[in-house]
Structure 1
Amino acid sequence: MSLDELKIGYFYSNGAYGRTWGVRQLAAIGHDAESGEAVYHFKGVAGICRRKKGHCSPIEFARWARYQVALQENDWKRVGGEAYPPDESVAL
């Protein structure tokens, strides 16, 4: 993903399959006290990342995140594209 697409509070997946799959929430953007460089703080919410907190550079997070996801019922779905079916309750 590009850095412009990443937003605080949103959820992202690494797009992996099986045991290496994970979902992280971008929790905050801070700055390193010594270098002044940006630091992304995240919370792991599902898969291999679950119940873990961490931080990394913006570039590292963008490389890890393949796409944005949202929790629907009990399943994480990709946001955009074919992730959400059209609303069938709307009369034509």
Structure 2
Amino acid sequence: MSLDELEVGFFYSNGAYGRTWGVRQLAEIAADAKTGEMIYHYKGIAGTCRRKKGYCSPAEFARWAKHQVVLLENDWKRVGDDTPDN
């Protein structure tokens, strides 16, 4: 994903299958106190990321995030993948 597509509070998936699949919420964008560089803080929500918190550079998060997702019922769905009924 591009940096322009990433927004605080939204959920993203790495698009992997099986045990390596994960969902993270972009929790905060802040400047590193020592370097002044931007840091993305995230919360692991599902899959391999569940119950984990972390941070990384914006570029690292953008590389990891393949899709924006939303929880519908008990299933994570890609945003924008709505298939019209025929």
Q: Which runs of 4+ in 1 moved over 3 A?
A: none
Name the TM-score, length of structure 2 as normaliser: 0.95
**1:41 paired residue number:** 41
Aligned: 1:57 with 2:61:
no
Percent identical residues = 74
Q: Unaligned stretches of 5+ in structure 2?
A: none
Q: Distance in 2 between matches of 1:77 and 1:84?
A: 9
User: Unmatched 5+ residue regions in structure 1?
Assistant: 88-92
Secondary structure at the aligned position of 1:84 is classed as: coil
Alignment RMSD (CA, Å): 1.3
Aligned pairs for 1:8-87 (under 5 A) are: 8-80=8-80, 83-86=81-84
* Larger Rg over CA atoms: 1
Letter in 2 for 1:12: Y
Secondary structure at the counterpart of residue 46 of structure 2: strand
SS of aligned partner of 1:8: coil
